[in-house]
Amino acid sequence: MAPPSTELLDPSNARILICDELAPAAMEVFAQAGFTPDIATGLSEDELCLKIKGYHAAIVRSATKITAKVLRAADELRVVGRAGVGVDNVDCEVATQEGIVVMNTPTGNTTTTGELAVALICSLSRHIVRADRRVQSGDWNKKGLLGSELTGKRLGVIGLGRIGRVVADRCMGLKMNVVAHDPYLESTGKSSPVDGVELVSLDELVESCDFITLHVPLMDSTRNLLNAERLGRTKPGVRIINAARGGLIDEAALLELLKSGHIAGAALDVLADEPPTKDHPLLGRDDVLITPHLGASSHEAQFNVAVDIAKQVGTFLSEGVAHNAINAPAVSAKTLGRIARYVTLGEKLGSFLAQRLEGPLRKLEVTLSGDLLNEAKEYLPLSILVGALRKSVGGVNYVNANLVAREHGVRLLEGAEGESYAYQNLIKVRASSQGGEHSHVACGTVFGRVPRLVRVDDLHLDLEPSGTVLITTHNDKPGVIGQLGSILGNSGINIRRMELGTGKDAESARASGFLCLDKTPDSATLQALRDLDTIESLHVVEL
Ligand code: NAD
């Protein structure tokens, strides 16, 4: 599909589809600005694929999934507005590829969700829900309902972002000892953003806390963050609270540890599959409290996010300014349409370098060459920053990227020298860690409509930056690639494309390899590769 039209729309011509129930305040905001949205809730993916045609904007809460299929079926769609913070129900990568802006309302439900987590902590510690069920069924009896005080108990907050900070703050008021783990805050060496909350390692948090509450986004790096091994190392009698996203906890492992009595209770507002099937093993247990994804369900939060998204979508369609965009700079839709594929490329370069670097990222130096890129030099560096931060920071976008980078001690600078290659437009990025001991360079351009990685450090190559890339430093002698190929092949992994080079290290008989794989190698396969005498180092990058 061609990138969406960038013409500004008169509100009377703009077609907006509201796909989930929104607070009525949104309709008032739209009406005041002259828009008349349509409402069609509860559509299946196939129904939405048909319905979406001709609409310029789609607004969702969390029920409707804006999948790749829906985005590709849309012929006029310019913006997807998510009334809420998490955008995991929208395929943002495909939206970006298609030049469709995805925007969220990052702050409207922070307090409400934080307060739910606090309510779950209180309910769990005093068996409130079980007790109520018992009394409602006519049984006035406190047997088995002996609770625990919160005062003096250690609470571990995983993810000290907006919601995590609300929870930490409120729980200190309950006289709990609050510690938190957040790799970004930790790596900056900064003191905790919440007075009285100590930053600790994930291991220390997991092993020492009486209550553990999760407030991180669901991403590749956080999926199953509380896996069987970590859950197994928790303190006996621990209580686990998840009001962030299903998928952060290994539910099967949680169940086993509840059954054994090691974990005293779990309060879950979210599950890996929602809604759960009737025979879901976590249902019907006395030690598990489940709410139906209620985090943002308060009058205040629903009002806030509905008003915010209506204002943002209206402004984008009629003025071309994208506030709180996940995948686009706050630039006019016209400029965005022209640079959309370089925005994707910038994100990939940032993500590649952040993953390639040993140690936390501290500096990104960006050099843009070519007329098109110079037109967008205020915005493209942001795409690199967003790509570099997004693997670890939830909700980072083009509006808040600079702020988030400052909070996390990452500097974005204009690079010194340009490149004299024959590329019409080229992005060059140098990423450095603390003190600059480690640094890597990557260059990219767009051929036709496809972003390409054309240089990494001293090696000139031509790779599409997508999927799994295995980067090797190995002995430059015959047979090494064959060894790699057979270990990967034995694990059922196909090498889609490969680039090799000796770069600067030619004299030291060292070579580098970039192998695009059709899936991510498991840890045993990686170990087998690392065990080869000929392999000096190995790195997996997910793009
Ligand atoms: P946020 O971006 O402000 O905070 C997330 C924090 O997690 C960041 O500080 C980040 O550095 C940290 N983080 C990232 N990876 C981590 C890791 N591996 N270990 C520890 N910390 C890590 O986001 P927020 O507004 O606080 O929201 C958090 C999440 O809550 C959202 O992503 C969303 O999925 C969920 N949420 C759920 C509901 C609900 O209805 N239950 C409502 C709103 C938000």
Any atom of ligand 1 within 6 Å of the Cβ of 247: no
CA 49 – CA 1 distance, rounded (Å):
14
Q: Does residue 502 or residue 50 have the better pLDDT?
A: 50
Any idea which residue has 């040993």 for tokens?
358
Tens of pLDDT, residue by residue over 122-168, are: 999 999 999 999 999 999 999 999 999 999 999 999 999 999 999 99
| Nearest of 302, 397, 245 to residue 109 by alpha carbon | 302
* Amino acid sitting at position 207: E
Question: Is the CB–ligand 1 distance for residue 184 below 6 Å?
Answer: yes
From its phi and psi, is residue 288 left (phi > 0), alpha (psi between -120 and 50) or beta? beta
> Is the distance from CB of 445 to CB of 339 less than 8 angstroms?
no
Q: What is the pLDDT of residue 1?
A: 44
In this structure, of 41-45, 185-189, 193-197, 345-349, the range with the lowest mean pLDDT score is: 185-189
CA of 243 to the centre of ligand 1 (A): 10
Domains in the chain with CATH codes: 1-106+297-327 (3.40.50.720), 110-290 (3.40.50.720), 329-464 (3.30.1330.90), 467-543 (3.30.70.260)
Confirm or reject: Cβ of 369 under 6 Å from ligand 1: no
Task: Give the sheet arrangement for strand 198-199, strand by strand.
Answer: 198-199, 177-181, 154-158, 211-214, 238-242, 263-268, 288-290
Name the CA radius of gyration of the chain, rounded: 25
In the 3-class helix/strand/coil scheme, how is 247-316 assigned residue by residue?
CCECHHHHHHHHHCCCEEEEEECCCCCCCCCCCCCCCCCCCEEECCCCCCCCHHHHHHHHHHHHHHHHHH
Nearest atom in ligand 1 to the alpha carbon of residue 294 is 40
Determine whether the shortest distance from the Cβ of 161 to ligand 1 is under 6 A: yes
Ligand 1 atom, smallest distance to 106 CA: 25
Span 21-33, pLDDT tens digits: 999 999 999 999 9
If you measure from the C-alpha of residue 326 to the centroid of ligand 1, how many angstroms do you get, rounded to a whole number? 15
- 198 in catalytic set: no
pLDDT digits (tens, 9 = 90+) for 311-360: 999 999 998 778 888 876 656 656 767 888 898 999 999 999 999 998 88
What pLDDT does 8 receive? Answer: 81
Contact 100, 71 (CB under 8 A): yes
110 lines ligand 1 (CB under 6 A): yes
CA nearest ligand 1 atom 30, residue = 244
d(CA 214, CA 316): 33
Catalytic residue among 76, 229, 274, 378: 274
Mean pLDDT of the chain: 90
Residue 126 is a catalytic residue: no
Asked whether residue 504 carries a pLDDT value surpassing 90, the answer given is no
- Which residues on neighbouring strands pair with residue 440, listed in sequence order? 431
Pocket test for ligand 1, best of 60, 82, 85 (most atoms within 8 A of CB): 85
Average pLDDT over residues 513-534: 92
The residue whose CA has the least distance to atom 25 of ligand 1 is 162
Q: Which pLDDT tens digit goes with each residue over 354-411?
A: 999 988 899 999 999 888 777 777 788 989 999 999 877 765 766 567 778 888 889 9
Per-residue model confidence (pLDDT) at position 2: 43
Cis bond upstream, residue 275 (ω within 30) = yes
Over residues 18-47, the mean pLDDT reads 97
Using one digit for the tens of pLDDT, what is the confidence trace for 210-269? 999 999 999 888 999 999 999 999 999 999 999 999 999 999 999 999 999 999 999 999
- What is the pLDDT, as a whole number, of residue 206? 98
Tokens at 109, concatenated: 């439900």
What per-residue confidence (pLDDT) applies to 239? 98
| Atom of ligand 1 minimally distant from the CA of 62 | 40
Overall pTM surpassing 0.85 (yes/no)? no
Closest atom of ligand 1 to CA, residue 396:
2
Closest of 82, 86, 80, 77 to residue 53, by C-alpha: 77
